[in-house]
Amino acid sequence: MTTLFLYIALSLGFMTTENPKLTINVTNIESVKGNLVIGIFNTHENFLENGSAIKTYTFKVDSTTKQIVISDLPKGEYAISMYHDENSDDECNRNFLGIPKEGYAFSNNVKPKFSAPTFKECKFTLSEDTSLAIKMLN
């Protein structure tokens, strides 16, 4: 009887553990060269610090727009930071003030003014299939 109930629950979708799909539509990529590097964060602690992203993805830039589908994140709250590694040196090159010299962007299209954005400003909830539009800052 327990096995029958479990089978019925699974077939009706009550016990699915499938991750929601996150689709990121990136626009305003300045040049068609290098890579787009995306960092996914799930906490304000160490937000934007090198090596503290829970997931990092790298995609070859082959157009001035890019659609990326991520399906390996469980439901939760996240923030995205990305940069266009135009010269493929695996780092976000910055000027003497620490401002990126290569294109960059954050979830919620946060535009930093005098300091880096916070996790709270960039945060979004992934509880079902979600689509984000992010415009690169150059």
Examine residue 10 and state whether it is found in any structural domain, yes or no: no
- The pTM for the full model equals 0.85
CATH number of the domain bearing residue 106: 2.60.40
pLDDT grade, residue 59 (50/70/90)?
very high
Predicted confidence at residue 126, as pLDDT, reads 98
Tens digit of pLDDT for each residue in 75-115? Answer: 999 999 999 999 999 999 999 888 899 999 999 999 998 88
Domain count of the fold of the chain: 1
CB 21 within 8 A of CB 128: no
Examine residue 13 and state whether it is found in any structural domain, yes or no: no
Examine residue 118 and state whether it is found in any structural domain, yes or no: yes
Examine residue 128 and state whether it is found in any structural domain, yes or no: yes
Examine residue 120 and state whether it is found in any structural domain, yes or no: yes
Examine residue 53 and state whether it is found in any structural domain, yes or no: yes
CA atoms within 13 A on the CB side of 21: 6
CA distance 96 to 134: 26
Q: Which are the contacts of 129, defined by CB distance < 8 A and separation ≥ 6?
A: 20, 21, 22, 23
Tens digit of pLDDT for each residue in 11-54? Answer: 555 555 689 999 999 999 999 999 999 999 999 999 999 899 99
Q: Which domain holds residue 62?
A: 20-135
Examine residue 99 and state whether it is found in any structural domain, yes or no: yes
